[in-house]
Amino acid sequence: MNPGEGIHDSGIAAVRAGLTALQTVDLTTLPDDEFEGLLAAFETCRRIAESVSHRLLIETSDRHLPRMIGRRGLHRYLVETLRLSRFEAASRIDAAHALGVFREPSGAIREPALPATATAQAEGAISPTHARAVMRVMHRLPDAIDTATRALAEEHLADAARTLAPEQLTHVGDRLLGFLDPDGTLTTDHDRARQRGLTLSPQRLDGMSDLTGCIDPELRALLDTVLAKWARPGMCMPDDPDSPRPGTHDPEDSDGVNAHGMSVDTVRANGVGIGGVGAGGVTVAGFGAAGFDPARLHAAIARDTRTTTQRNHDALKAFLSSDGGPGRTDLGTHRGLPVAVTLTMDVTDLLRGTGHAVTATGTTIPIRDAWRMAEGAIPLLMIFDKHHGKPLYLGEGPRLANNWQRRAKTAIERGCTRPGCTAPATMCAMHHIIPWATGGPTDIDNLTLVCDSCHAHITADPDNPHGWATETVPAGSALAGRTQWRPPVEIDPHRTPQVNHLHHPEHILAESLKRYRAKLTRLRN
């Protein structure tokens, strides 16, 4: 008999039955000590379940399930099949790599990379947050630390995790790192390069985003140079036109500034110029040694009520808005378009001053902020059908330049059109719905945005039942002109066409509102 046979019917069924009982039992009748015991026992079960999750993820990968049903990679499989967030899917995969047991192709068993932590979690003694704290500390250990010392450090951290909260464990990790490398001599450039990174979170409902990361000394030096001047009180206040900002300076104070307002002083480190103009130097345009009228600056300081973190934010935004970012004209192109912020907005919203604009990266920006960003820019007008979003007079003939086609598709589709994909337009290429090899024209009506990952799943033969196929929604449909995808039979035996609505959440809300109104009508009748 297969040892795993019946596990779904018996084991999982028993777990679900127990959880169902907990959902319905009257907890108010339990004495305090018994309730505390139940609370602790339930938390232990949650933690053990996370350990089981590692086994399931590893087995999913070993069986190549993502590839078998047309998904590229375990991460995307988890996001689309289990409807996990991208962060949650990535966290589970990272945890499985560190805490899971793997079977090598030879059949040999590879024990967890962090064995003491894996054991503690399997016993239900530590939570996933504890495990991530241990993983972060271990990731910071210099490569020069030998294997035995590394194993002992992990054992100490796992032991501490059994009695401490994750935040407290982080402090223990900092102390441990200080003990192992007190003067930083073991840390190499490779260690710093391994730890570098910046993460921009998905945009929140209020339009804000979280920026976190770990930067190397060179980027720190460059940021310090910018913030030291432009994050000073009174500088770069976004709602104050009289506040000094990049690209403006006092003409009478031109020492150290060339004709373009750039600093000509170059600080050199190891032969590399940083912060000015010179051979091998990095030019920070508009952020030179230019001075300002003291009275004007002091007046701005008196009006400045921002915190230090807000001034840092505004200085970085001012830098990227001027010569440090898309304001430059020498940044080349990306996916066929100049590197610049592309804004798409409804003309009604624009006239009313309400609503929001959408960028090519999928970011939403309030109309008033978008209007301010567009000041001084040369607008490119494209007119679309109000109901279907189809471009008018842009779909005929080969006279259209590729960048116009891409701009049109960016404004209409906003991102990858494969159902379930959230890749923005900046991560997509233009795909021929009717393959170019079979005579499909390079017209706007036969083009659609597809990211590189999803493009790999499209078969050359659209009738191949084992791959994804693209086609245009026919006339007569409410979505006429949009791109729809037929999934492989492994996902849907009927290959029912699907349209990606994730880049147009307003459509999802509109359909929900329509159903709600229909329900109210039925109730009234």
287 and 314 housed in the same domain = yes
Question: Per the structure block, which two tokens stand in for 438?
Answer: 């079979």
Q: Identify the band that residue 513 occupies on the pLDDT scale cut at 50, 70 and 90.
A: confident
Q: Is the pLDDT of residue 72 over 80?
A: no
Domain span holding position 272:
216-329
Q: Is the pLDDT of residue 259 over 70?
A: no
Beta bridge partners of 364: 358
Handedness of CA 22, 27, 29, 30 (dihedral sign): positive
Least confident among 99-113, 145-159, 235-249, 363-377: 363-377
More confident residue, 58 or 398: 58
Residue 1 is assigned to a structural domain of this protein: no
Q: Identify the band that residue 499 occupies on the pLDDT scale cut at 50, 70 and 90.
A: very high
Residue 453 is assigned to a structural domain of this protein: yes
Residue-level pLDDT at 88:
93
Residue 253 is assigned to a structural domain of this protein: yes
355 and 323 housed in the same domain = no
E strands present in 83-168: 102-103, 109-110
Residue-level pLDDT at 385:
56
Question: Mind listing the pLDDT tens digit for each residue in 358-382?
Answer: 877 778 888 877 777 766 565 555 5
Residue-level pLDDT at 270:
32
More confident residue, 418 or 349: 418
The DSSP code for 474 is P
The model carries a pTM of 0.59
DSSP-derived secondary structure for 278-336:
STTPBP-TT-SS----HHHHHHHHHH----HHHHHHHHHHHHHHTTTTTT-S-S-EETT
Q: In the listed set 329, 352, 380, which residue is the last one of a domain according to the structure?
A: 329
305 and 188 housed in the same domain = no
Q: Identify the band that residue 397 occupies on the pLDDT scale cut at 50, 70 and 90.
A: very low
Residue 338 is assigned to a structural domain of this protein: yes
Contact 159, 151 (CB under 8 A): no
Residue 207 is assigned to a structural domain of this protein: no
176 and 187 housed in the same domain = yes
Q: Identify the band that residue 491 occupies on the pLDDT scale cut at 50, 70 and 90.
A: confident
Mean pLDDT rounded to a whole number for the chain = 80
125 and 107 housed in the same domain = yes
Residue-level pLDDT at 395:
39
Least confident among 41-55, 94-108, 176-190, 341-355: 341-355
Contact 169, 131 (CB under 8 A): no
Q: In the listed set 329, 351, 375, which residue is the last one of a domain according to the structure?
A: 329
15 and 67 housed in the same domain = yes
Residue 202 is assigned to a structural domain of this protein: no
Q: Is the pLDDT of residue 321 over 50?
A: yes
- Whole-angstrom distance, CA of residue 90 vs CA of residue 452: 20
Q: Identify the band that residue 52 occupies on the pLDDT scale cut at 50, 70 and 90.
A: very high
Residue-level pLDDT at 113:
96
340 and 304 housed in the same domain = no
Handedness of CA 151, 152, 153, 159 (dihedral sign): positive
HSE at residue 230, side-chain half, CA atoms within 13 A, is 32
Q: Is the pLDDT of residue 285 over 60?
A: no
Characterize the bridge pairing of strands 197-200 and 211-214. Answer: antiparallel
More confident residue, 351 or 216: 216
Residue-level pLDDT at 34:
94
The mean per-residue pLDDT over the stretch 127-148 comes to 94
Q: Is the pLDDT of residue 295 over 90?
A: no
Residue-level pLDDT at 4:
59
Residue 301 is assigned to a structural domain of this protein: yes
Q: Is the pLDDT of residue 97 over 60?
A: yes
Residue-level pLDDT at 288:
40
354 and 241 housed in the same domain = no
Residue 313 is assigned to a structural domain of this protein: yes
Question: Mind listing the pLDDT tens digit for each residue in 460-489?
Answer: 788 888 889 999 999 888 888 899 999 888
Q: Number of folded domains in the chain?
A: 3
More confident residue, 53 or 504: 53
320 and 172 housed in the same domain = no
345 and 490 housed in the same domain = yes
- Whole-angstrom distance, CA of residue 424 vs CA of residue 409: 11
Residue type, position 498, single letter: Q
Residue-level pLDDT at 267:
31
Q: Is the pLDDT of residue 35 over 90?
A: yes
Q: Is the pLDDT of residue 222 over 70?
A: yes
59 and 163 housed in the same domain = yes
Closest CA to 229 of 301, 312, 328: 312
- Whole-angstrom distance, CA of residue 235 vs CA of residue 371: 22
Residue-level pLDDT at 263:
35
Q: Identify the band that residue 312 occupies on the pLDDT scale cut at 50, 70 and 90.
A: very high
Q: Identify the band that residue 273 occupies on the pLDDT scale cut at 50, 70 and 90.
A: very low
Q: Identify the band that residue 261 occupies on the pLDDT scale cut at 50, 70 and 90.
A: very low
388 and 489 housed in the same domain = yes
- Whole-angstrom distance, CA of residue 447 vs CA of residue 414: 13
